[in-house]
Amino acid sequence: MGFFKQTKGYEFGPVSASDDGEIQVYRLKKASRSGIWFESLRLLRDIILIISVFVLFGVFVAQPVVVDGESMVPELHEGERLLVNKLVYYDIQKFDWGHIERGDIVVFWYPQDPEKSFVKRVIGLPGELVEIQEGRVFINGRLLEEPYLSPDKNRSTLDYSGKRVDDHYYFVMGDNRDNSLDSRTWGLVPAKYIYGKAFFRYWRPSKVGVLHRGATKLEGTPEGMPEDAAPVSDDPVAGM
């Protein structure tokens, strides 16, 4: 009966990366510390990126503002929060949201004290003649229809002599005509002082939504025709 001779076992010794190119050796504690450090850097990078996006958005695109006062009643009330589109500052004529039009609600630095800001509605555009007779607004002698006004906030019958709006300026008024300090009192607003056009109300909850441009139309302008395409007169009392 034969016997198998027991062979001597091999001693492998310590494992080294040089033993085989496919072998990777990890020191668990060191790898763990490296992983935490790497993930922390990635998190910091993402936070910086998010903050940068918000800063750029606030500087160039939109900005929140708070309504102070009742000069824009019934459209806006004190304490409401708005987002304003700041792209109008760059006067991008190709897009509606990139430039100012009649009926827009704009936020601007008060010309007599640029540390304060006001919110009003654009009434007169550069080059136009603005006049008020018995509380009604006339542009180049034609009545401006303003359906956004509330009769109980527009009882004044005071007149305003004709004022030609200079280039790069706007004539603005509050919707609460009986209780608004605006271009009737302190004059025109330079275009460079207008830093935003209100486009969204995010507070109060019952009125959250998009703010559309006021539906204005000059008397005698056919539906669908631009206001500047209809014939106009510089006579402030034409048609009366």
Task: Give the active site residues.
Answer: 71, 120
Instruction: Measure the CA–CA gap between 41 and 35, rounded to whole angstroms.
Output: 10
CA distance 115 to 127: 28
Q: Which of 126, 134, 103, 142 is nearest to 230 (CA)?
A: 142
DSSP string, 87-105: GGGG--TTSGGGS--TT-E
| Distance separating alpha carbons of residues 102 and 229, to the nearest angstrom | 15
Instruction: Please list the residues that pair with 109 across neighbouring strands.
Output: 117
Cα 168 to Cα 165: distance, rounded to the nearest angstrom: 9
